[in-house]
Amino acid sequence: MPLPRVKSWMRFGAQSNLIHVPVAIRPLQRSHPGWNIRAIKVMSTSPLVSVIMGSKSDWDIMRESARMLTDLDIPHESRVVSAHRTPDLMAQFAREAPGRGIQVIIAGAGGAAHLPGMVAAQTLLPVLGVPVLSKLSGLDSLLSIVQMPAGIPVGTLAVGAAGAKNAALLAAAILALNDAALRGRLEDYRQKQTDDALNSKLEAE
Ligand code: RP5
């Protein structure tokens, strides 16, 4: 079976703890279910958005960011970077992100969620914080991220999946300032949302 056209590539696993999410990997997964897609390198695209999270347990929510970025055809990476478990990695990540071409960082964390603020303190890149649901229903995460003292901003989104999805949309809006094609894709996304709402059919009472 011929390979579908793939615009980006995927590399992830224990060693790099890094996921380059390809734009068209889903058809590839469907048509080649037995393949080890970790080993497939089709074409390299540097990520523009980095989706980081404090723990693997945040991925259920943070994958909404990654999915939205994939849908909008935005090269991105997703990885675990913990402020309290891997503080050196966090500092290195924040320092090196601009040089790697990253333009926006989305940081999800739960509980005493200091990751977004600590990363924002070490870079001039825009940092969008996503409060992950916690034992206190995400209220602790929300307050930890949104209540940054003056001087180091973190753009804070809603708690949970809606926030993760909106973080990607906000990152897209930032990138679209200098990318007319992406702006067009965002307009299409909004239009579809409008059409879906207008075409809503309610079931009988
Ligand atoms: C935070 O602690 C993470 O962002 C996560 O939301 C929370 C709990 O982490 P785990 O104990 O599930 O790894 O750093």
Q: Is 117 in the pocket of ligand 1 (CB under 6 A)?
A: no
Distance of CA 159 to the CA centre of its chain: 15
Mean pLDDT of 98-125: 98
- pLDDT one-digit tens code per residue, 126-138: 999 999 999 999 9
**How far apart are alpha carbons 103 and 108 in whole angstroms?**
17
Atom of ligand 1 nearest to the CA of 58: 6
Q: Is 110 in the pocket of ligand 1 (CB under 6 A)?
A: yes
Mean pLDDT of 146-150: 98
- pLDDT one-digit tens code per residue, 48-68: 999 999 999 999 999 999 999
Q: What is the maximal distance between C-alpha atoms in the chain? A: 58
pLDDT at 76 over 70: yes
Q: Is 111 in the pocket of ligand 1 (CB under 6 A)?
A: yes
Say how many C-beta atoms besides its own lie within 10 A of residue 31's C-beta.
Answer: 12
The enclosing H or E element of 165 equals helix 161-176
40 contacts: CB under 8 Å, gap ≥ 6: 6, 9, 10, 28
Q: Is 57 in the pocket of ligand 1 (CB under 6 A)?
A: yes
Which of the four pLDDT bands, split at 50, 70 and 90, describes residue 26? low
Determine the pLDDT at residue 45. 80
**Which residue's alpha carbon is at the smallest distance from atom 14 of ligand 1?**
54
Pocket test for ligand 1, best of 17, 58, 130 (most atoms within 8 A of CB): 58
Q: What is the dihedral of CA 141, 147, 151, 153, to 10 degrees?
A: 50
Radius of gyration of the chain measured on its C-alpha atoms? 18
